[in-house]
Structure 1
Amino acid sequence: MRHTVVMTGASRGIGRVAAEHILRQSPDVHLLVVARGSSGARLAVDLSADGHTVSHVSADLGSLDSVRSAAAEIRDRLECGDLPTLRGFVGNAGIQYTNALTKGPDGFESTFAINVLANHLFVRLLQDRFAAPARIVITASDTHFGDFKHNMGMVPGPAWKSPDVLARPGAFAEPDTAVGGRTAYSTSKLAAIYLVHEYARRLPAGIDAVAYNPGFVPGTGLARNAGPLSRFMMRRILPVMTLTPFATSRNAAGRYLADVVLGTTEAPTGSYVDRARAARSSEESYDPRREGELWDTVERFTAAYAA
C-alpha cells in the first residue's frame, strides 16, 4: 500500500544513502524530502530518476516559523490526497557548530534549534496525521555517552543543564570555541534520546519512536561549519578509520538507517538502535525527570508555532 515518509537531512551523507535505499527497498514509498531553498527540488529530481516517487518541501530547520510552514504544507497535501497516508518521519538533519553562540531567528542556540526543536515541532504538527503502523526515527549519536570508547576523545560529553539554559547561546564552558560547539552537539543528541522516550510514552499505540545511532561516520557534512583543517581531516584522513571497528562507512550507516525506517531492524518504541541492532544507550539517557522537564520546555518553546 502506498504511503508517505517525510525525511529531513536527505541531501548528503548518510541521509542521501538512506533515502536511496528506502526507495529501492520499498517501491510503495512516496518520499517527501525537506530541504532548504532550491536544493529540495534538485534532490527530488535526482532521487526520482529511476522512477521512484519523490517530492519536496522547502524549510530552514533553524527557523521554527519555516518548520511550521513546511508542516502545514505537508498537512494540506495529505488532506487533499496529493500525498498518500503518512507512515514515517525521519529527523536525520543535524548540525555541529564551531561555537555555542550561534543564534537562529527565534533566539535559540542553533544546535538546539535544529537538532531538537525542529524535530519536535514536526512530530507535534504531524502527530494526528500518522496512520498506524507508523515509525518516527530521530538520528542520535553515541557522543551522548561522553566516554573515550564511544568518541575517542574527539567530542566532549554532554553537559546537561536546565533546558531553558541549553536552548540559549552560551550555555557551555568556552562557548566561543569548538569545544563549546561540540559540547552543544553531544548535549543536543542526549536531548533527542530523552524526547524519543517521551514520544514512546505519549504517542498513540502504533506510532513508534526510535533513536538511531550511526556511530562515528567520517566524510559526512556534519562538520561543514568547522575550520579548514578539521574539514580536511574529516574528508581525507578520518575516512580510513572505516576500515577498523571504530568507525562506520557512510554507505553502511545509510543502509542501517533505511532498515530502521522501514522496520527491517526490529526495535520497539522508545528504542535506541546502535547501527544494526537495538541496544542500551548511556545510563545518563534514562532519566524520567529530565525527560519530563525537557518535554515541558520544548512544548513551551514551540507552542506559538503549534497552534
Structure 2
Amino acid sequence: MRHTIVMTGASGGIGGIAAEHILRRSPGAHLLVVARGSSGARLAAELAAGGHTVSHVSADLGSLESVRSAATEIRDRLDGGGLPPLRAFVGNAGTQYTNALTEGPDGFESTFAVNVLANHLFVRLLQDRFTAPARILITASDTHFGDFKHNMGMVPGPLWKYPDVLARTAAFPRAHTTAAGRTAYSTSKLATIYLVHEYARRLPTGIDAVTYNPGFVPGTGLARNAGPLSRFAMRRVLPLMALTPFANSCGVAGRHLADVVLGATEAPTGSYVDRGSAARSSEESYDPQRERELWDAAERFTAAHTRSAPQSPSR
C-alpha cells in the first residue's frame, strides 16, 4: 500500500542509512525528505536511484517560519493528492553547538529551536493529516541519562530549568563554553522524551509517538559545529569505538532506526527505543509536571505559526 514518510535528518549518518533501508524494505513508501536549500533536491535524486519514490521540501529547521512553510506545503500536497496517505514523521535531524549563546531568527537558543521546537511544530501541523496506523519518531540520545555509563564523560548531563529559561540563550553556566553547548544538547534530548510522553497522551488513537536512541555513534555530522580537533576525532578516531560494546556503527544504528519507523521493532506509543528494543529511559525523564509545562511552553512558542496554518478541509 502506498504511503508517505516525512523525514528530517536523512542527508547522512544514521538518517541516510535508515532512509535507504526504508526505501528498500517498504516498496510502497514515498519518502519525503526535509532538507535545507538545494541539498534536498540532490538528496532526493540520490535516494531515488533504483526506482524509489522520493521527493523533498526545503526547510531551515532553526526557523519556525521555515518549518511552518514546509509543513504547509506537505499538507497541501497531501490534500491535493500529490502524496499518498501520511503514515510517519521521522524527526531525526539534530544539532549541537560549541556554546549556549547561539540564537535563531525567532529569538530562541538554536539547540532548543532545532531539537525541540521544530519537531513540535511539524507534529502539530501534520497531526490531522496522518492516516492510522501512523508513527511519529523523534531521535533522542542516551546523553539524557547524565552518567558516565551512558556519556563516557564526553557530554555533561541535562540541567533542567523552566522551559522559558531553556528556550533562551545563556540558560547554563559559562554559556560561552563547549560544556554549556553540550549541556544544551543533552537537555534538549531530555525535552524530546518529555514531549513524546505528552504526544502519547494527547494524539488520537492509532498515531503512536516514540523516541529512538541510537547510542553513541561516532562519525556522524553532529560535531559539525565543533572545533577542528573535535571534528577530526569524530571522523577519524572515535569511529574505531564502533568495534567495541561502547558504541554503534552508523550502519547498525541506521538499520535500527528503520526498524522502528517500519514497525519491525515492537514499541507501544510513548516508548523509548534504545538501539534495537524498547527500554526504560532515565528516571528523570518520567515527570508528568515537567511534561505538561514543556507542552504548554512549546504551544506558546509556536502559537503564531500554528494559527497561520490552513485549517483541515471538510470531509
Q: TM-score, normalised by structure 1?
A: 1.00
Distance 2:131 2:174 in 1: 45
Q: Aligned residue for 2:201?
A: 201
Separation of aligned partners in 1, 2:215 and 2:241: 12
Q: Does 1:38 align with 2:18?
A: no
Q: Give the match for residue 149 of structure 1.
A: 149
Name the aligned partner's letter for residue 270 of structure 2: G
Alignment of 1:228 with 2:228, yes or no, is yes
1:102 aligns with 2:110: no
- For residues 12-51 of structure 1, what are the structure 2 equivalents within 5 Å? 12-51=12-51
Structure 1: give runs of 5+ residues left out of the alignment. Answer: none
* Paired residue total: 307
Deviation at 1:106, TM superposition (A): 0.2
Instruction: Find the counterpart in structure 1 of residue 76 from structure 2.
Output: 76
The one-letter code of the counterpart of 2:193 is I
Code of the aligned partner of 1:229: L
Q: Specify the alignment match of 2:9 in structure 1.
A: 9
Q: Which runs of 5+ in 2 are unaligned?
A: 308-315
Please list the CA deviations of residues 201-229 of structure 1 after superposition, one character each: whole Å capped at 9, or x if unmatched. Answer: 00000000000000000000001000000
1:174 is displaced (CA, Å) by: 1.1
Q: Secondary structure at the match of 1:273?
A: strand
Q: Which string of whole-angstrom CA distances, capped at 9 and with x for unpartnered residues, describes residues 237-272 of structure 1? A: 100100000000001000000000000000000000
Is 2:177 the counterpart of 1:177?
A: yes
User: Alignment partner of 2:223: what SS?
Assistant: coil
Q: Residues of 1 paired with 2:305 and 2:167: CA distance?
A: 16
- Paired letter, 2:148: F
Write the deviation string for residues 6-42 of structure 1: whole angstroms up to 9, x where unpaired: 0000001100000000000101000000000000000
CA apart distance, 1:118: 0.1
1:144, 1:225 → 2: CA distance? 20
Distance 1:143 1:50 in 2: 37
Rounded Cα–Cα distance in structure 1 between residues aligned with 2:280 and 2:233: 30
Aligned equivalent of 2:310: none
Superposed displacement of residue 120, structure 1: 0.2
- The 4+ residue runs of structure 1 with deviation greater than 3 A are none
Q: Does 1:162 align with 2:184?
A: no
Q: Distance in 2 between matches of 1:34 and 1:46?
A: 14
* Structure 1 position 72, deviation (Å): 0.4
Partners of 2:131 and 2:303 in 1: CA distance: 24
Q: What's the offset of the Cα at 1:298?
A: 0.3
Q: Which amino acid aligns with 2:113?
A: A
1:303 maps to which residue?
303
Task: Report the TM-score, using the length of structure 2 for normalisation.
Answer: 0.97
CA-based RMSD: 0.3
1:78 Cα deviation from its structure 2 partner: 0.2
The one-letter amino acid of 1:132's match is A
Cross-structure match for 2:87: 87
In the aligned structure 2, how far is the partner of 1:215 from the partner of 1:113?
22
Pairing 1:112–2:107 present: no
* AA matched with 1:146: G
> Sequence identity, in percent?
82
Could you tell me how far apart the structure 2 residues matched to 1:78 and 1:135 are?
17
Distance across 2 between alignment mates of 1:241 and 1:173: 31
Matching residue of 1:258? 258
1:34 is paired with a residue of what secondary structure?
strand
Partner SS state of residue 136, structure 1: strand
Quick one: which amino acid aligns to residue 155 of structure 1? V
SS of equivalent residue, structure 2 residue 222: coil
**1:243 and 2:267 correspond:** no
